[in-house]
Amino acid sequence: MNLKKDSAIKQNIKIFEIEMKKKIINIQKNIENKKELSFLHYGHLGDVVCSLPVIKELSKTHKCNFYIQANKPLPANARHYKHFGNYVFLTDANVNLLLPLFMNQTYFHKVEKYKNQEIDIDLNLVRKMPIDFRGDLIRWYSQLTGVYTDLSTPYLFAEPHKNIKDKVIIMRNTRRKNYFTNYKFLKKYDNLLFIGLNDEYKILKKEVPNLEHYDCKNFLEMAQIIKSSKFFLGNLSFGYHIAEGLKTPRLLEGSPEFPLVYPHGKYAYEFYFQEHFEKWFSYLYYL
């Protein structure tokens, strides 16, 4: 066992020395020496949002430009993500939905699709770091840049939605479902609105017949609806990342097999078991 562990450590050190050390040093130099920084991201939607606290912190002392790349192929060992976009991290449609939300953030100097612009900090390097990726996803970017911030404060901003207010907003994907829990008890509550994909809505409606569905025109509108909600409920989904960034009251369906995201801040709870699910749902509903 110790030989196996020692071998893994040596391999991680080798990967760091060959692939990462020089890049980490260059990121640090760019932060120290430049007044304007350009960032690149092509990762999954939630990964992109989780990079924002670091950029918001750097925007206090730098002009920050954010470039989002579409159609970056997934690695061969991640082809099970096909339903996200035909073997790419972000499709053009994903990026078009995301741009209005990012353009709404005042701490960016510029937000655009990536078209070979000059890049100072490639945020995708987090995927090459020789670390255990079951840790808190949002901290990956601090580990990459050496920049830390208060994760209990908002890093996404949106005005409340003009028409949809005071709903329990739900977004639950089928990949990260917690097999210890079910949503059947929600049938006794009112004002439940699902904002995820239509096929995901149909699956959950079998448990919660009073559940309604709304198709957001883009992710800025999704953020506005979550901002106006009574609270947000979901598993590890893009909607939860938005709720976490807005610091809307939120309840996370924890994944026993993939604990990758954790609540930070006030009125933010996580459950693994049914009793706690029902307890915290009731608390936030009558808050």
Report how far residue 144's alpha carbon sits from residue 135's, in angstroms, rounded to the nearest whole number: 14
Task: Provide the pLDDT for residue 10.
Answer: 80
Residue 259 three-state SS = coil
pLDDT average, residue stretch 242-263: 91
Alpha helices by DSSP H, listed for the chain, are 2-15, 21-33, 45-50, 52-58, 92-103, 140-145, 198-205, 219-227, 238-246, 274-285
pLDDT value at 134 more than 90: no
Q: What is the CA radius of gyration of the chain?
A: 20
State the pLDDT confidence band at 75, using cuts at 50, 70 and 90.
Answer: confident
CATH classification (class only), 168-285:
alpha beta
Higher-pLDDT residue of 25, 128: 25
Helix (H) or strand (E) holding 192: strand 192-194
pLDDT average, residue stretch 47-59: 97
pLDDT average, residue stretch 178-186: 95
Helix (H) or strand (E) holding 180: none
- Per the DSSP assignment, residues forming a β-bridge with 269 are 251
Task: Provide the pLDDT for residue 19.
Answer: 76
State the pLDDT confidence band at 106, using cuts at 50, 70 and 90.
Answer: very high
pLDDT average, residue stretch 189-194: 98
Task: Provide the pLDDT for residue 80.
Answer: 53
CA angle 266, 270, 272 (to 5 degrees): 165
Q: What is the pTM of this model?
A: 0.91
Residue range(s) in the chain whose domain bears CATH number 3.40.50.2000: 168-285
The residue assigned the tokens 């099970």 is: 80
